[in-house]
Each structure stands twice: as C-alpha cells, then as structure tokens.
Amino acid sequence: MAKQPKSKYKSGFVSLLGRPNAGKSTLLNAFVGEKIAIVSDKPQTTRTTVQGVISEPRGQVVFLDTPGIHRTDTQLNKRMMDAVRGALDARDLLLYLIDAARPELEQQRQALEFLQRTETPVVLVLNKVDRIADKRELLPLIEKSMELYPFRETVPVSALTGDNLDELRKVVFSYLPNGPRYFPEDHLTDQPERFLASELIREKILQATRAEVPHSVAVAIEQWLEEPKLTRISANILVERAGQKGILIGAKGEMLKRIGSEARPELEKMLGTKVYLELFVKVSTGWRDKTNVLNELDWRAQFSQASPVEPVIGE
Ligand SMILES: Nc1nc2c(ncn2[C@@H]2O[C@H](COP(=O)(O)OP(=O)(O)OP(=O)(O)O)[C@@H](O)[C@H]2O)c(=O)[nH]1
Ligand SMILES: [Mg+2]
C-alpha cells in the first residue's frame, strides 16, 4: 500500500459523551474492534474514562469513553462526573450520543448543560437505529435535538450492528488536524490488564444482578500470580450490605459460580493463558463515599503515587 504523505496524516483526541446507557462503551469497542470497555444494560456501567485508539493509514484517533452524565450523590458519582469534565478539555471533537429509541429529551437538556462551556465542536450521534423500524422518525428527533444544542451535524448509527460506523469514522477524521502518530499502531488502550480483569468480572455481576445491586458493587484484584501454565487471579467483590452479599453468593453459591464461569473465558481470551479464578464477596459499608477505597479502586491513583490524595471530607 502506498504510504500517505506525512502532511496528510491526521490525528486527534475525541471524547464520547452522553447519558448513561446511550451506548458509548459499545461504540468505543466497535471502533477499536476489541472489548476494552465493559457494557451492560444497567445505567452507570462505566465509572472512569477509558482510552481506545484506532490507527489507520489516514491517521490515528484517540477516543475517550466516559461515564454517563447523571446527577451525583456519592463521592463515587462525583468522581465519575469529574472524569466527564476532564474529558472535555483539549479535545478536537466531542461525540454526544443519544439512544434514538429512548431519547428522553428532557434529561438530555440537563446533561447538555455540561457542554455549554466548551468551544470544541460537538457532533450528535443518534445510536441504536437498529431499534427504529421507521427511519423517518429520526428527522423530528434531529430537529428537537438541535433545539437543545447547536450540534455541528448528526450521524445516525448502530454501535451494536456496525451500521453507518464507516460514515461516522469519516466524519470524525474530517474534524481532526494534521498531526503525529501519538501511539504505536498496536496500542489499543491505556488500561492495565489487572484493571481490565476486574472490570470484566464487574461486567458479569452487572449483567446478572438488578435494582441497587449493580451500583453497590466494586471489584478489587487481590492476587495475580503468573505461573508457567496458568494465571491465578483472586478478586474481592465489595458490596455495601449483607443482603447484597447473600444475593451475589446465591443459593449454594450458585450466583458466584455463574459469575466466575462467565468471567473466566473472557479473562483467558484477554491474557492468552488458562486462568484459575477465585472470587470472594466482602461487605464494605459505604465504600462509595470512602476516599481510601475509591483510591484503591482507581488505577490511575495507584499508578501516580505523586498525585495528591484528596482530603477526607466529613459529613
Ligand atoms: N439495540 C442496540 N443496543 C445497543 C446499541 N448500542 C448499545 N446498546 C446496548 O445498550 C446498553 C448500554 O450500552 P453501553 O455501551 O454500556 O452504554 P454506555 O453509554 O456506555 O452506558 P454507561 O457506561 O452506563 O454510561 C447495552 O445493553 C448495549 O448492548 C445499539 O446500537 N443498538
Ligand atoms: Mg459505558
């Protein structure tokens, strides 16, 4: 293949934003072609920003998936929204996703207030069009969305089926400046393997539980031993109450077994080794408001020892 002249090479930073459940993480995975962000039908699945990089002959895009924009109550939620705010700065383009099958325009109005300060161009992505039988329904939705925010343009897609994603990539590249290749071509994400492993376990929990349980769960890797033929992983599942512990263990330990047997093949695929997985459930009352627990769960805080630890704010 002929090499692109260097001056035509485009690169830049693009954040994926939107309400919980809009399909941001599904879109990130579809772009990258690998599962790097967990997905579930429960809102607030993503709790931190996830970088996903695509490298093509025409250029490189560094995408950033973000937590869904929602009202905050706990310290965990506040950190999630800080992550969203951080994903607005120094971007070349923002993609704002709306679930076209459940647009909930009133909530969008509140979420879009987040974008009022930004000068960065925002493109509206109407996702889940596979769930819209009559595509003519999209036109009034586009009009109403434009009344809420001056989006530069609109691209209807299905992150799930891949419908119109080539067009969306084209649109993304059209907003990028000429620039360098920031990462090697095989670089897909910034997440350490251990964090991704804990996320994959959390995904299985989210998919298997309901109501308040998904929001009350965190996963912390306790042990990671790489042996010649297998990797031994043990993880603690944190919950907030004894009742939730009971739900996660299940009758005769069935639920925990199910979570483990669903997570293991994905861990094996990611690591390319056999995995021996042990899961424990621990009650950690109020962990979503405990700075030390949140720091332990935050891989970026773990990596940058130099970063200042937030003061514990009493009630
Ligand atoms: N039918 C359909 N479902 C989709 C599509 N994209 C995402 N979904 C589903 O929507 C649900 C939410 O997807 P996520 O990718 O986790 O959504 P998110 O915006 O990252 O959600 P948060 O992380 O909670 O903010 C999952 O059940 C996905 O399978 C799509 O294009 N079509
Ligand atoms: Mg997500």
Domains and CATH numbers, the chain: 8-174 (3.40.50.300), 193-303 (3.30.300.20)
Angle at 138 between CA 134 and CA 144, to 5 degrees: 145
Q: Give 94-141 as a DSSP string.
A: EEEEEETTS--HHHHHHHHGGGTT--S-EEEEEE-GGG-S-GGGHHHH
Give the distance (Å) from ligand 2 centre to CA of residue 252: 32
Q: Taking 70 as the threshold, does the pLDDT of residue 184 lie above it?
A: yes
Alpha carbons 181 and 171: distance in angstroms, whole number:
19
Number of C-beta neighbours around residue 232 at 10 A: 14
Q: Nearest ligand to the C-alpha of residue 24?
A: 1
CB distance 59 to ligand 1 below 6 Å: no
Contact between residue 169 and residue 31 where contact means Cβ atoms under 8 Å apart: yes
Q: Taking 60 as the threshold, does the pLDDT of residue 309 lie above it?
A: no
Give the distance (Å) from ligand 1 centre to CA of residue 28: 11
CB neighbours of 98 closer than 8 A, spacing ≥ 6? 18, 19, 22, 108, 124, 125, 126, 127, 141, 145
The pLDDT tens digits of the residues spanning 136-153 come to 999 999 999 999 999 999
Q: Taking 80 as the threshold, does the pLDDT of residue 163 lie above it?
A: yes
Average pLDDT over residues 52-79: 97
Residue 117's pLDDT is 82
Alpha carbons 264 and 299: distance in angstroms, whole number:
21
Nearest atom within ligand 1 for CA of residue 131: 1
* Residue-averaged pLDDT of the chain: 94
CB distance 66 to ligand 1 below 6 Å: no
Q: Taking 80 as the threshold, does the pLDDT of residue 135 lie above it?
A: yes
Alpha carbons 142 and 18: distance in angstroms, whole number:
15
How sure is the predictor about 165, in pLDDT bands with cuts at 50, 70 and 90?
very high
Which 8-state DSSP code applies to residue 88?
T
- For the ranges 2-6, 258-262, 278-282, which has the lowest average pLDDT? 2-6
Alpha carbons 293 and 122: distance in angstroms, whole number:
35
CB distance 23 to ligand 1 below 6 Å: yes
CB distance 127 to ligand 1 below 6 Å: yes
How sure is the predictor about 302, in pLDDT bands with cuts at 50, 70 and 90?
confident
Give the distance (Å) from ligand 2 centre to CA of residue 39: 6
How sure is the predictor about 7, in pLDDT bands with cuts at 50, 70 and 90?
confident
Paired strand residues for 281: 237
